[in-house]
Structure 1
Amino acid sequence: MNTDIKQAMHVEAGKSFGTAEANENERRWNDEKIDRKNQNPTNHYDKTRMKLNFEIGPDGKVHPLGYQEKSLGVRLQERLNELNWKPFKSGSKIQPNCCAKFVFGGNHDRTLEMAFGNQSVNLNKGSDNSHLHRCEEIENWAKDVYDWCANRYGQENIVGFQVHLDESSPHIHALIVPVGVRPKSGRECVMWSAKFGKDRYEYGRVLKEMHTSLYEDVGSKYGLERGDSIDGRNVQHLHKRDYIRKLTKDARQAEKAVKGLQSMMRHLESKIFSYRMQLEETEKELASGRITLDRYEAQKADIQKLIAEYQTKLEDKADKLHAKEQELERLTADATKARSVVQPFRNHKVDFTPPQITEKVPLFGTDKWVERQNQHIAKQFTEIVHKIESLYRNDAVRQVEAAQRNVLADYGELYQLKRENKFLSDINKNLELELKTLLEQLAIPSVRNLIFAVADALIRGQPIPVSSGSGGSTSDLPWDGQRPDEEEEAYRRRCMKTAVSVAMRSRQSYRRK
């Protein structure tokens, strides 16, 4: 039996909410769009199950998905306008959070059971699941989650609440505006910190409490255990390659921390040993009469105090080392698991009644009676064997599908890496050409001085006089300075590149004269 039956909740801060994201949540797609989305090996939108999607409306009742005339993005903007929300200046790199994007789910098998009961669901791409009907349990679960959100954030702040049954696992998307009250004016306003904390540490505590509250109010009713919260981090969904890379990086940092703590412990142990040797020397000096008793007592107290301080530090480092070693072990195990595509077989618990003889032996016709009882027992036994066989066959299919999905995802990522590699190779060739030209120009002292002078002027955003090559007249080279979205290093590189171009034109003009 699978004991890892947990609820799942993911929340992400949103500075905006795009049209594409809104259309996806409400499935405002045509068949061509769905087919195009399914070309991505990580996507799986089942057109035959889309009719089973639904949403919980402002009235707290079940409605067909996308039944509201106004789109999700429009409804969000209307609620923000009601709260007089205004983003920072257009073009600013820093924007306030205006919405919280929730995803609620749970154990794959359990959520499928809530959605479709004992009906057979084929999760392969292109499968026909038009025979399925939606079970009431998934609707009750969604309404309970909706009530949990309404009690916590206010029903008027739930902009959208969509339930998707057309993907691999049933799940809920909830778009919520976090609202707080200004201390001075007492007015309601969009305030992320009021609901999710002022910093990452407070956010971590809020997340823990949210997981516990969701389990107590909803998850426990549907056999879903409390989910695992992640302290102080806004977790994002990562591709397998990026996830493994992140785990490997974290493991390297943990390993580095372990080595550092071990080194510090050795240093502390060396210090303690040194002070204990000093204490022994002091005792020898007292025994030989080289120091007085008062001086011995004073030195002994000082040395013992230092030993106690270093011993405390050593114990603290030992505790930290133990924690880091456990973290390193966990990260290594997670990375190994992430690289594996094999999923373990479940230990299924099959409820059945052993075949029994229920009739008494007749006085006559014993042979026919025995044959009839054997047929009955054989039928019951065969049904039990077929049930067990079906359970483990489905597990085998699940493993094959998992392997196929991983292979497809890896091929997709390989294709993306090839494109990225080509793009970087082209950039590298251009940079090599620019560097070669620059080195050639810098080899000439007069040109080198001109390049540095021009580059310095451009960096300060000043136009520079440039020879036109005719009659010694000059014209100002216009310069727009650093662009708002341009990094400092890129700006300086652009200045240097332009300076080289100016120097080359000046040099050609000089040769023509």
Structure 2
Amino acid sequence: MTTDRKQAMHVEAGKSFSTAEADENERRWNEEKIGRKNLDLTNHYDKTRMKLNFEIGPDGKIHPLGYQEKPLEVRLQERLDALGWKPFKSDSKIQPNCCAKFIFGGNHDRTLEMAFGNQTVSLEKNADNSHLHRCEEIEHWAKDVYDWCVRRYGQENVVGFQVHLDESSPHIHALIVPVGVRLKSGRECVMWSAKFGKDRFEYGKILKDMHTSLYEDVGSKYGLERGDSIDGRNVQHLNKREYIRKLTKEAKQAEKAVKGLQSMMRHLESKIFSYSRQLEEAGKELVSGRITLDRYEAQNADIQKLIAEYQAKLEDKADKLNEKEQELERLTNDAIKVHSVLQPFRNYKVDFTSPQITEKVPLFGTDKWVERQNRYIAKQFTEIIRKIESLYKSDAVRQVDAAQRNVLADYGEFYRLKRENQTLSEINQELESELNTLLGQLAVPSIRNMIFAVADALIGGQPVPISSGGGGNSDSDLRWDGRRSDDEDEAYRRRCLLHASRIVKSERNGYRRRR
């Protein structure tokens, strides 16, 4: 049984590039950081193989990973500044794409073979692989991928190109700035559409071309087959509206988590700043002679320890924030993609044998012989055409079924929304009636005073000053459940006023009946 040895290429649009992402790509971590990372069961960073990681620099040569003085995110910003890139306002929810984040890889066994040859590699956590050395084939492969990127995007726009050999499968991270030329000015600028298309249809075509080009230029040299391009998630089997609601809910949760993490990071940064100020003050006191050197050193050690603890927490929150931001972007993109139901037709490969003449040409009666051969060949071609026709008809049926399901889902959603609209209209009419009643009551001074007295009592949690005991008697239809845990002050006061109006109205109606 043969195993597919496919190349792999994933590209993700980036609206920003964080320090945490840069540190991970360049492995700017200490041992404590690596240990915290590996606490996540999905992570597998082998400290004994990290020395084998490498990157290809702007000179096109192989260097140790993280050899450049300027961190990756700084180099990216410098390239963006050189191109005059201007993001939207910081509070805008929509930001332009400024970079493309590539990951290149391939079949697990084949990439390990390129990296380590016949050496024994243990992929268990905390395994000792310090005996391994890096093979030249992985360097040649990385260099060819780098050259492919340079040809497509320009050497100056390949900001980072890191090769990781310390995880489960060897792979490459490439950070690239997409650059195009403005039609009016003729100047170069950051332009996602110039390299990846104006919409998802153009992007799909470009992505297919990229897979093919990468295979022809690189993959075929290393025994890697052309990768499968994916135009989007196949969600036909799900109810469209339910899927959209699910994505929306998950996106709101991710957005809430992002805001929470940002708030925690601001708090940690303020703590670090505060302790840094304390260090400065302690230094001034030492210089002025107000404290001794021993006391200063003790204070300095305590504060430095606190700063280190808060810095570790800050890094952890930054990593989590980066993950949540990526999750939020993925969910947003999925919600956009799911609105499209139709999938592209598959490309079928139909194996057939070219028709061949199987009889010798007779000396006599060649006309009948030619006619017989033509019928035979025509029959074979007809069978092939019918087979292809059947395959594409099945695909067409699939397209129609998907469209019909989508239409039915839309009709179902339309009627559901219609029912909800009717319910909301009824609720609105009830609220409008209550508002009119309240305004009418407030127009009468005696009733107005009574309503305010009841509302003040409810707000203060006191017994309601009404003879019928509408605020809490067991026989009352207007039971009061007090303040809820999610009530804001203003909302709670409005609810008290409205309930007071109902109590007064009920009391007056009861008084009329007793008369």
TM-score when normalising by structure 2: 0.51
| 1:373-428 residue CA offsets vs partner (Å, 9 max, x unmatched) | xxxxxxxxxxxxxxxxxxxxxxxxxxxxxxxxxxxxxxxxxxxxxxxxxxxxxxxx
Match of 1:503 among 495, 503, 508: 495
SS in structure 1 of the partner of residue 84 of structure 2: coil
Paired amino acid for 1:113? E
- Residue 36 (structure 1) aligns with: 36
Equivalent residue number for residue 193 of structure 1? 193
Match of 1:449 among 410, 434, 441: 434
Task: State the one-letter code of the partner of 1:132.
Answer: L
Are 1:222 and 2:222 an aligned pair? yes
Q: Which amino acid aligns with 1:503?
A: R
The CA distance in 1 between the partners of 2:84 and 2:171, in whole Å, is 32
**Distance verdict in 2 for CA 1:158–1:58, change over 3 Å:** same
Contact 1:203 1:232 in 2 (8 A): no
Aligned to 2:182: 182
Distance 1:132 1:144 in 2: 23
Q: Across the two proteins, how many residue pairs are aligned to each other?
A: 303
1:49-64 to structure 2, matched below 5 A, reads: 49-64=49-64
User: Could you state the TM-score of these two structures normalised by the residue count of structure 1?
Assistant: 0.51
Rounded to whole Å, the distance in 2 between the matches of 1:212 and 1:43 is 31
* Residues 451 and 500, structure 2, Cα contact 8 Å, conserved in 1: no
Contiguous gaps of at least 5 residues in structure 2: 236-322, 343-388, 401-426, 440-449, 457-485, 505-515
Tell me which of 394, 397, 405 is aligned to 1:322: 394
Q: What is the letter of the counterpart of residue 42 of structure 2?
A: T
Any conservation in 2 of the 1:451–1:500 contact (CA below 8 Å)? no
SS in 1 for 2:35: helix
Superposed counterparts of 1:186-335, under 5 Å: 186-231=186-231, 322-323=394-395
8 Å CA contact 1:204, 1:232 repeated in 2: no
For 1:232 and 1:447, locate their aligned partners in 2 and report how far apart those are by CA, in whole Å.
47
Q: CA deviation at 1:32?
A: 1.6
Q: CA deviation at 1:447?
A: 11
- Provide the C-alpha distance between the structure 2 equivalents of 1:183 and 1:207, rounded to a whole number of angstroms: 24
Query: Identity of paired residues, percent?
Result: 71
Contact 2:438 2:501 survives alignment (8 Å):
no
CA–CA distance in structure 1, aligned partners of residues 44 and 76 of structure 2? 27
Matched-pair contact (CA < 8 Å) for 1:49–1:166: yes
Alignment correspondent of 1:151: 151
Match of 1:8 in 2: 8
Amino acid at match of 2:9: M
Render the CA deviation track for 1:440-466: whole Å, top value 9, x for unaligned. Answer: xx9xx8998249999xxxxxxxxxxxx
- C-alpha separation in 2, matches of 1:34 and 1:145: 28
Q: Distance in 1 between matches of 2:180 and 2:228?
A: 27
**Mind listing any 5+ residue stretches in structure 1 that lack a counterpart?**
255-316, 329-441, 455-466, 474-493
Contact 2:97 2:192 survives alignment (8 Å): yes
Tell me the distance in 2 between the aligned counterparts of 1:149 and 1:178: 11
- CA-to-aligned-CA distance 1:321-377 (integer Å, 9 cap, x gap): 61167799xxxxxxxxxxxxxxxxxxxxxxxxxxxxxxxxxxxxxxxxxxxxxxxxx
The whole-number CA distance in structure 2 between the counterparts of 1:150 and 1:90 is 32
1:24 corresponds to 2:24: yes
Q: Is the 8 A contact 2:53 2:163 kept in 1?
A: yes
Aligned ranges for residues 361-400 of structure 1 at < 5 Å?
none
Which amino acid is 1:449 matched to?
E
- 8 Å CA contact 1:10–1:103 kept in 2: the answer is yes
2:56–2:62 CA contact under 8 A, matched in 1: yes
Aligned to 1:305: none
CA–CA separation in structure 2 for the residues paired with 1:451 and 1:159 = 66
Shift of residue 13 of structure 1? 0.6
Whichever residue aligns with residue 322 of structure 1, its letter is S
User: Quick one: distance in 2 between partners of 1:497 and 1:508?
Assistant: 16
Distance in 2 between the 1:57 and 1:452 partners? 76
Q: CA RMSD in A?
A: 4.7
The one-letter amino acid paired with 2:149 is C
Map of 1:165-176 to 2, 5 A cutoff? 165-176=165-176
C-alpha contact 2:88 2:96 (8 A) present in aligned 1:
yes
- Structure-2 residue corresponding to 1:119: 119
Structure 1 Cα separation of the partners of residues 99 and 488 of structure 2: 43
* Whole-Å separation in 2 of the counterparts to 1:234 and 1:98: 28
Q: Is the 8 A contact 2:116 2:134 kept in 1?
A: yes
In 2, Cα distance between equivalents of 1:453 and 1:21: 58
1:218 is displaced (CA, Å) by 0.8
Residues 200 and 232 in structure 1, CA contact (< 8 A), matched pair in contact too:
no
Cα deviation, residue 43, structure 1: 1.0
Whole-angstrom distance in 2 between the partners of 1:451 and 1:56: 74
Which residue in 1 is equivalent to 2:80? 80
Task: Give the secondary-structure state (helix, strand or coil) at the position aligned to 1:76.
Answer: helix
